[in-house]
A and B are shown apart, each in its own frame.
Chain A
Amino acid sequence: MARMHQVVLFACGAMAVAAGAGAQQRDTAARDAAANAVALYNADRTARVTGQFDVPAERTVEGDVAVLNGPATVAGRITGTLTAINADVRLTAGASLGGLVVVGGTITGLEGATVRGDVQQRAELLRYHFDGTRIVLDPEPSYDEAWWKRRARRRPPPDDRSWKDWTFTSAHTYNRVEGLPILLGPRIRQLTDWGRFSLDAYGIVRTAGPLRWDRETLGHDATGELQFGRKLGIGVGGRTFDVVEAVESWQQDEGEAGLAAFVLRKDYRDYYRRHGGLGFVKLHAGVDADLTFSFGDERWENAFERDPVSVLRRGDPWRPNFAGMEFGNMHLATTRLRVDTRQRQSSLWGGWYLDADIERGTGTLWSYAYPAPGDSMVPLDAMLRAPTPRRMTYTRGFVDARRYTRLAPDVALNLRIVAGGWMSGDHLPWQRRLSVGGPFTLPGYDFRRAWRVNPDVLTCDGTLYTGAPANCDRVMLFQAEFRRDFHVSWVRNDVRDDWWRPGFNRRAAWVLFADAGRGWTVGDEGPINYKKDEVPPLSTFRSDIGAGIDFGSFGIYVAKATSTASEPMNVIVRVRHRF
């Protein structure tokens, strides 16, 4: 007659976290079970098995057996104790065991089997290490911030190795001046004892038609840097370039700008050409922060829209790239600070993003007699014949500061302030003027359509010019958003996730947001003019509110201007987070 077995379940973790006075005793017993399992495994008389272990119905195993990882399936007989460490044990009807100790695993079929001794079980994973053929129980790890910081250190930074290759890639953008720029050239990353050397030297081929083998189609961009010190240090380098540059790149990243241009034929940026070189000194603190001083000598030129293809609205004309920008030679001295702690492992509560720069420009810029608002049109030949020079010196500053804060595990409050523009000297050239309004700054307002906004504090009357360029000397923008994550599972789920099934199965976030901002010019007082030491009152700012769903790779938002009642509601699709 089978002896009724005694079952002692030292369930732990998820299976045994029951409140009550016995919890402490159970923990003690669980530790005893773990120690017992280790002792049984290390005993000289014990047969040890790593991996799958099967005892068929007709077989008898003499003595004690210890199984690591398993699974252990027993249909026959084990005269001694079966010890399973981090292994599941499956007993079939008729199985017979001298004893059973399971740590870090489950037991099935116990009711149909015969166990003559004790049954001990602890579900929680057992941590151990090998000392020769023996295993040694690891102490339960205590909390130590270094525990996960070590993990962060273990991840090598992306460029923590030497390599070189020949790159053929797109510039990750698309626009009405260049089409799809193709980059071709070598890249080198060479690590040394004292730091590293990097070189990126690209030739640029612009695909916008009509294709001509001149500077409209061809360009270059090469940067080399010697970096002394790995984590903290200083870098010295230079760059030579002949590129097409966006006037206001802060509003929208290149990928999103390119997608809007390629698919919708909406190019939200204006461009000019830069041809020259610069040298720089960079103080860097890991990948999170750097401070760069650069001095360059370059020639600015107008860039004109061409006719690259787009998926939709192929028959529509592109928005003109403002043809009135100045051209000429400039000397630029720039100081730029970049801090980005959003991805830092130690940023438990979110992170900071700061991008600030001060630029001092000196040079002579020429401009054609481009018709100003209200002027009668100037004949084209007169414009082309009569460029006039202007010697200028200006200082311009710009700050984009963001704070990302987690209020709860799935709730975040993100804030952003952008402020920038003229600081001193002459009037800013067109290439350095600013604007707000549109999907990326004030989505409740249309992009560069300010006729409902009077006075035009969004583009500072830039919309009166062909192409509606940014015309503000200064801008200020506040953005706030409240996000809450949720999981959307509609028709699809993790079990049935075939590609052909309709529906969604992914994480997403509700987003509530509010924005306020405006631009102004510096000068005598007027509707959009303020003195150089004045900031417009907040009551003059344009504001909006909105809501949307951010699916990560894309988001859909609805925004309504609150300070301009006649501005209709806008629906915006973004392929990035709002900021």
Chain B
Amino acid sequence: MAASLRRPLLLAAVLIGSAASSARGQGRPTLSISAPAAEQVMHTGPVVVAANMLTGRKLQELLASGFPARLHFTVELWSVGGWVNDLERRVEWDVVVRWLAVEKTYEVTQLVGDRPFSLGKFTQLGDAAAAVARPTRAPIVSLASIKRAYYQATLSVETLSLSDLDEVERWLRGELQPAVRGRRNPGTVLGRGLKTLASRLLGGERREYAARTEVFQATEGKR
């Protein structure tokens, strides 16, 4: 009995140990947000840094398989209340990373408002990750009417675009036809479907991160 238990326990220990030790070896994804100095909070917004967001073997494999990664940033200004905090303002933007197989480069694009802004094309994934991690100032300043406030940043990382997600949802529900709607090559339907199914079976293609600043108190300052 003891011998029969030993092997699975050993295997479990190896798996857990492997996961823990491997994790220590790489930079972990980190989202951080920094509020401006107290005298500047009514003139400028916080700075957001999303470091090491393209780490993780599964995400990298999905990227290399043609699934674009979409990083959706949300920054909110919350005022501190007695029982309930109030959401005062919010801004959002996206960063999209995709592998261009023909050029063999990773393209990083920031989508702000109506306008795409290229952060570059890179042959190395690490360089693409560095472009994603460039400190970005969110245009969300505090208000004179707020006594105490803090910023909250959230980031969701998806390895499928919204349109793909819609199609995936339909495909998984058994609606085969939408996959061949329009002028798409039906020959790729099976491949797309298998990739989609694989990504779903692997699970965890959506990650979420959150960070917040300390509570700050705005003081009058010059711009």
Residues of A within 8 A of B (CB): 12-15, 17-20, 23-24, 27, 50-52, 68-71, 86-88, 104-106, 123-125, 127, 140-145, 147-148, 150-151, 154-155, 158, 163, 165-170, 172, 348-349, 406-410, 485, 487, 491-503, 505-507
Contact = CB atoms under 8 A, between A and B. Distances in A.
Nearest to A507: B208
B135 A410 contact: no
Given A14-B49, A106-B130, A140-B139, A503 B19 contact: yes
A143 B45 contact: yes
Contact of A51 (B59, B121, B182): B121
Given A142-B139, A497-B59, A168 B23 contact: no
Contact of A502 (B15, B40, B178): B15
Contact of A148 (B44, B57, B90, B182): B90
A408 B76 CA distance: 10
B186 interface: no
Given A86-B134, A140-B139, A17 B37 contact: yes
B57 A497 contact: yes
B201 to A, nearest CB: 7
7 contacts: A148-B113, A150-B113, A169-B173, A348-B76, A409-B85, A496-B57, A503-B19
Given A125-B135, A491-B16, A503-B19, A13 B123 contact: no
A144 B91 CA distance: 9
Q: Which 10 A-B pairs have CB atoms at the shortest separation, nearest pair first? A: A69-B120, A13-B47, A13-B135, A23-B37, A141-B139, A17-B34, A409-B152, A169-B175, A125-B134, A14-B49
B12 interface: yes
B141 A51 contact: no
A124 B130 CA distance: 12
B39 interface: yes
B87 to A, nearest CB: 5
Contact of B202 (A17, A349, A499, A505): A499
A486 to B, nearest CB: 10
Contact of B137 (A19, A124, A408): A124
Given A124-B137, A410-B210, A163 B181 contact: yes
B134 A105 contact: yes
A27 B221 CA distance: 13
A29 to B, nearest CB: 14
Contact of A23 (B18, B36, B90, B174): B36
B39 A23 contact: yes
A24 B221 contact: yes
Contacts of B139: 140-144, 147
Contact of A407 (B34, B85, B136): B85
B166 A406 contact: no
B34 A13 contact: yes
Given A87-B120, A125-B134, A494 B91 contact: no
Contacts of B90: 148, 348
Q: Which of the four size classes fits the interface of chain B?
A: 35 or more
B207 A24 contact: no
A68 B120 contact: yes
B44 to A, nearest CB: 7
B57 A498 contact: yes
A69 B124 CA distance: 13
Given A23-B40, A140-B137, A495 B113 contact: no
B49 A499 contact: no
Nearest to A152: B92
A410 to B, nearest CB: 7
Given A170-B173, A494-B29, A496-B19, 18 more contacts: A13-B135, A14-B34, A51-B120, A51-B121, A124-B47, A124-B134, A141-B139, A142-B141, A150-B114, A151-B113, A151-B114, A165-B181, A167-B178, A169-B173, A406-B87, A497-B58, A502-B15, A502-B16
Contact of B175 (A12, A163, A168): A168
A498 B177 contact: no
A17 B28 contact: no
B131 A69 contact: yes
A124 B57 contact: no
Contacts of B222: 24
B220 interface: no
B127 A71 contact: yes
B203 interface: yes
A168 B89 CA distance: 44
B176 interface: yes
B204 to A, nearest CB: 6
A153 to B, nearest CB: 9
B91 A17 contact: no
Nearest to B115: A129
B79 to A, nearest CB: 11
Contact of A147 (B19, B113, B204): B113
B130 A409 contact: no
Given A409-B76, A505-B204, A124 B55 contact: no
Contacts of B208: 487, 507
A496 B23 contact: yes
B193 to A, nearest CB: 15
Interface in B84-135: 84-87, 89-93, 110-114, 117-123, 127, 130-131, 134-135
B4 interface: no
Contacts of B29: 494-495
Nearest to A553: B203
